[in-house]
Amino acid sequence: MGKLFGTDGIRGTANIYPMTPEIALEVGRAVAYKFKKTGNNKTSIVIGKDTRISGDMLESALISGICSAGADSAVAVGVIPTPAVAYITRYLKADAGIVISASHNPFYDNGIKLFKGDGFKLSDKQESEVENMILENKGFPEGDFETSLKSAVEPGVVKKIFDADAIYSKFLKKTVSQDCRFDGMKIVLDCSNGATYKIAPLLFAELGAKVEAISINPDGKNINKDCGSEHTTSLIEKVLQTGAHAGFAFDGDGDRLIAVDEKGNIITGDRIIAICANYLSQKNRLKNNTVVSTVMSNMGLGAALKRLKIKHIMSKVGDRYVMEKMLSSGAVMGGEDSGHMIFLDRHTTGDGILSAITLMEAMSYEASPLSELSKIMTVFPQVLINVEVKTKPYLTSNRKINDIIKAVEAGLGKEGRALVRYSGTQQICRVMVEGPEIDETRMCCQKIADVIKGELGA
């Protein structure tokens, strides 16, 4: 058995290792043991999921693991966005939260994400401890795994919460700035046939917006299929057709946002970050005047923040690493170009709906269309190619790959850059190149991708 956790929990094809009911059951046991309270205090673990057909199977296995390990209750909140699980875990004063979702991946994939009782994701160290409990039977109270189970004299029970959407919606409404009104704003929501399909249209309508919603009929297999944050064609068409002020696309579990302006232009995470950072700065809500983004962010974001006199800190790829830098720097805003954005003054994790609310606040405050607000950042030409690979050796260990990356970087000089990294959740090597001109950038990216395919390709 190999390593379970990637950059965002455990992820893979459902019913194939590591996303099997057997592993899910052991995850449930391990989480229950790790977060189990002592004495007479009751232990509860919250479980939520997106709309994938495999969600019920994995939920049942996780619940069985939690209850068999002696936690007092497994609290099932049903289909709900990932950030809602983080909030409800805090709201209920539960000891941990578990999300069953593979985010923006196709329906046949699934995943498991873990939250602590305070609504923050586990650290690398804490994930390693859970992983060791599952794979090596280490860290259980009474030694080996089977012996530890004997300590669970009374199994836990299952509790179900049917108004989790309403609880979370109430929280989100309280985050809206009192001086911003959404009345008269016409928006289109693409809910990706995923976890936001119920809560998002109702919430924005209650906030006063005129809402048109698409991709709100999940069938277990259509999550993210030609819709959502990864596929915006239908959203663009609907925005133009209805004359909407903006369109918002969420991913399958609702922690990402990609926007579309009134002219049908795509506004990705970096430009949303720039717009929201400027807005929060003007409102004196950008603590320490600092924004965190990853090394994958477009060079244009750094240039825009510099012009706005906002400090820019870079992190490794992954929202947990963005969060680490935010906590260490005292920043309240950070994110990724993928649309995963964190507003730490209001929530403990990335939230697509909250990001859309903040962007709408900026539109209301500035009294400007989204197409005008997006001009705050000039996007440098950027090309990203994903190469399927058989293995993931250190890139520096391959001379041909090393040489082509250095050659491209030398050719671009200070006018561009190349960034090559493996996906943390898939057998993919991501090649990203930025440059002064799109054709040259595309050619440079393809050169690197061709060499990687020749050396490591599946």
Residues forming the active site:
103
Please give the biggest Cα pair distance in the chain. Answer: 67
Identify the CA nearest to 274 among candidates 308, 241, 248. Answer: 308
Phi-psi group of 387: left, alpha or beta (phi > 0 → left; psi -120 to 50 → alpha; rest → beta): beta
Tell me if 220 sits within 8 A of 233, measured CB to CB.
no
> Token pair for residue 328?
């260490």
Tell me if 190 sits within 8 A of 249, measured CB to CB.
yes
Within 214-260, residue ranges assigned H as helices are 233-242
To which H or E segment does residue 399 belong?
A: helix 399-412
CA pair distance 450, 435, nearest whole angstrom: 18
Find out whether the peptide bond into 201 is cis, omega within 30 degrees of 0.
Answer: no
SS3 88: helix
Cβ atoms < 10 Å from Cβ of 176 = 19
Phi, psi of 98 (to 5 degrees): -130, 130
Tell me if 152 sits within 8 A of 68, measured CB to CB.
yes
Tell me if 406 sits within 8 A of 298, measured CB to CB.
no
> Per DSSP, which regions of 57-194 are E strands?
73-79, 96-100, 109-116, 157-160, 186-190
Q: Is 367 exposed, middle or buried (0-12, 13-18, 19+ CB in 10 A)?
A: exposed
> Token pair for residue 102?
């593979």
